[in-house]
Amino acid sequence: MKRNRYTITMLALGTLLYSSCKHDYLEVQTIKADITTDKLYSNYTYVQQQMWNTYSYLPDGISNLNLEGATDEAEATNSVDPVQVFNYGTWNQYTNPDNVWATNFDGIRQANLYLKNKDKVDINYIKDKITSTDSTTYYNARNNVKFMEGEALFLKAYFYFELVKRYGGVPIFEQPLDYNDPNSWKNVQRNSVDECIKYIASLCDKAAAIIPANLSPYSWYESGRVTNGAIKTLKAKALLYGASPLFTANGSTTTWAQAASAAHDVIAMGSYSLDANYSNLFGANNTSSGEAIFFRRYGAMNLIEYNNFPIVFQNSNGNSITPAENLVSDYEVLVKSGSTITGSVPFDWTNPAHAAAPYTNRDPRFAATIVYNGATFKGTAIQTYFGGNSGLPKQNATKTGYYLSKWVNQSVDLINNTTTNHAWMYFRYADVLLSYAEAMFNAYGPSADPQGYGMTALQAINRVRQRVQMPALTAAQLNQQAIEHERNVELSFENNRLWDVRRWKKGVSYFSKPVNRIDITSAGVYTVKKLEDRVFSAKMEWYPIPQSEISKTGWTQNPGW
């Protein structure tokens, strides 16, 4: 979706429309507009641009990829990467590298501005210009104004979800309060976690009633805008979180059965399917995949390649996020009889057969996600052993012994500065299936389907595994650990691990353990070594409210902070 951003200078306006989005892939247009709010929102063209502006507050997945370095999945190569503040445990209410409080409340304000003023939008001038019996342009504009209400509701719900998964309960605003005006916040109180989850779900229900499931009659509605499937997926994700241990321990009354029902609503649409090729989901044409539900287009760029190409390639800047051995060891090993797959087992460095050929016969998602020693990348054999072409002690070499493959497009030529299309997947169908599997398992067990949805927890998780030819699990094998494992290997580097571990209340278990690397000699001797100790305490499962907000409102800080 092409999105233009208007920077509007308003003199003597009671409300201010602006964008904090800093990314140059948005086409910025500046319009001097000394106009009233009423006049602004009566202009159909301006209103459309205001809606595109609201989209710009969605998370920037590619730029935020370094947040994976705050999980057990990865390590930032740059020793002064801001994400290290998380790993050292020195972040707090004053210093938080992921402080998105203001950004999301600004986005909520933009959505509320549209919702408050939507009835002022004037499209009669389009009708007045019709000189034939064809009124298509007018009816398209009328539908667009209505659909933008659904988009505003969805985006508002999305921004609230981004806040609640970090901070817990936050204030619910129906009116476009100005975040930057301290007076407007003085008497505002935080809503409870339960109220927030229910509110997000209610916004999604309202949005889904506006934007139809079948958009084919509306060819003018651009790909990349909010769809009915995206709305239902957001609701399903919010309810999955609401049913999870961290949220129920803090007052959420959402049940696993409700989360399963919401995920089923997406599945039952029949609009999405698993891509037969896992790697397609992270390539230049991923938005055309039947698995794509909601995404952010970046257009042609090469930032992620400059940052993450192995350093054997000229102009790779070494500002990489590299997979940790903790993640690598989580990919299973296929058991084969000849070329026939007969099963799979956990990888184990103490198993002599595994240690002798550690990257052979692994879960296919391993090679699609990770560049390992001996892997071929752009026709070059990558050497991450000590002294190898992409290994230590070379400057900016990976510290973990691995490089990232997911999202990195090998067609890019860094010497000639070529680019390729990128799009970040906010929601994809495999995540829905895994959410359904988790909710169904916790509600009804591995093999029961008392609601007649047509799919059990076991069947859902096995659909995801079998897409990459991984052997099906049995009912006896499906447990919480198996669910956590499957989400880790399927959704790594997709902004899930940081939140999954928290909602499971397992941050201390996963994130306080050392992050490991693989040490490799030129003779091919592999040794797992500790790379870095990590600090994570129970209080860190919620972010602290920024101290500036505590000072402004007098709220009680989140526990432990």
Task: Find the CATH number of the domain harbouring 150.
Answer: 1.25.40.390
Residues 264 and 322 in one domain: no
Residues 344 and 262 in one domain: no
Residues 236 and 336 in one domain: no
pLDDT at residue 34 in the model: 63
Last residue of a domain, one of 390, 407, 424: 407
pTM: 0.93
Residues 249 and 322 in one domain: no
Separate counts of helices (H) and strands (E) for the chain: 20, 14
Q: How far apart are CA 141 and CA 121, in angstroms?
A: 10
Q: What residues contact 194, with CB distance under 8 A and at least 6 apart?
A: 242, 251, 252, 253, 254
The Cα diameter of the chain in Å comes to 80
Q: How far apart are CA 495 and CA 505, in angstroms?
A: 17
Last residue of a domain, one of 407, 439, 473: 407
- Asked if the structure places residue 453 within a domain, the reply is no
Q: At what angle do helices 256-267 and 429-444 cross, to 10 degrees?
A: 140
Q: How far apart are CA 470 and CA 486, in angstroms?
A: 11
pLDDT in tens, the chain (561 residues): 433 333 332 222 222 222 233 333 234 344 345 667 777 788 898 899 989 999 999 999 999 999 999 999 999 999 999 999 999 999 999 999 999 999 999 999 999 999 999 999 989 888 888 878 878 999 999 999 999 999 999 999 999 999 999 999 999 999 998 877 877 777 899 999 999 999 999 999 999 999 999 999 999 999 999 999 999 999 999 999 999 999 999 999 999 999 999 999 999 999 999 999 999 999 999 999 999 999 999 999 999 999 999 999 999 999 999 999 999 999 999 999 999 999 999 999 999 999 999 999 999 999 999 999 999 999 999 999 999 999 999 999 999 999 999 999 999 999 999 999 999 999 999 999 999 999 999 999 999 999 999 999 999 999 999 999 999 999 999 999 999 999 999 999 999 999 999 999 999 999 999 999 999 999 999 999 999 999 999 999 999 999 999 998 999 999 999
- Asked if the structure places residue 118 within a domain, the reply is yes
Which secondary-structure segment (H or E) carries 341?
A: strand 340-345
Q: How far apart are CA 349 and CA 278, in angstroms?
A: 26
Q: How far apart are CA 283 and CA 195, in angstroms?
A: 39
Number of Cβ within 10 Å of residue 289's Cβ equals 23
Expressed in angstroms, the distance from the first to the final Cα of the chain is: 41
- Asked if the structure places residue 30 within a domain, the reply is no
Residues 225 and 326 in one domain: no
Task: Identify whether the C-beta of residue 272 lies closer than 8 Å to the C-beta of residue 291.
Answer: yes
Residues 237 and 343 in one domain: no
- For residue 393, say if its preceding peptide bond is cis, omega within 30 degrees of 0: yes
Task: Identify whether the C-beta of residue 530 lies closer than 8 Å to the C-beta of residue 516.
Answer: yes
Residues 50 and 195 in one domain: yes
DSSP state of 225: B
Q: How far apart are CA 52 and CA 551, in angstroms?
A: 33
Amino acid at 369: T
Residues 251 and 318 in one domain: no
pLDDT at residue 108 in the model: 97
Last residue of a domain, one of 407, 442, 465: 407
Place of tokens 């817990």: 168
Q: How far apart are CA 148 and CA 324, in angstroms?
A: 42
- Asked if the structure places residue 346 within a domain, the reply is yes
Q: How far apart are CA 492 and CA 498, in angstroms?
A: 10
Place of tokens 């505590």: 550
- Asked if the structure places residue 15 within a domain, the reply is no
Q: At what angle do helices 228-243 and 256-267 cross, to 10 degrees?
A: 160
Residues 243 and 139 in one domain: yes
Radius of gyration of the chain (CA): 24
Identify the domain containing residue 346 by its residue range: 310-407
- SS3 category, 342: strand
Place of tokens 């390539």: 283
Task: Identify whether the C-beta of residue 426 lies closer than 8 Å to the C-beta of residue 58.
Answer: yes
Which residues sit opposite 292 in a β-bridge?
A: 428
Per-residue three-class SS string for 119-149: HHCECHHHHHCCCCCCCHHHHHHHHHHHHHH
- Asked if the structure places residue 361 within a domain, the reply is yes
Q: How far apart are CA 230 and CA 1, in angstroms?
A: 15
Q: Which two tokens stand for residue 516?
A: 């490991």
Task: Identify whether the C-beta of residue 50 lies closer than 8 Å to the C-beta of residue 121.
Answer: no
509: phi then psi, degrees, rounded to nearest 5: -70, -40
Burial code of 495-504, b = ≥16 C-beta within 10 A, e = fewer? Answer: bbbbbbbbbb
User: Domains in the chain: how many in total?
Assistant: 2
Amino acid at 147: F
- Asked if the structure places residue 314 within a domain, the reply is yes
Q: Which two tokens stand for residue 61?
A: 């997945």
142: phi then psi, degrees, rounded to nearest 5: -60, -45
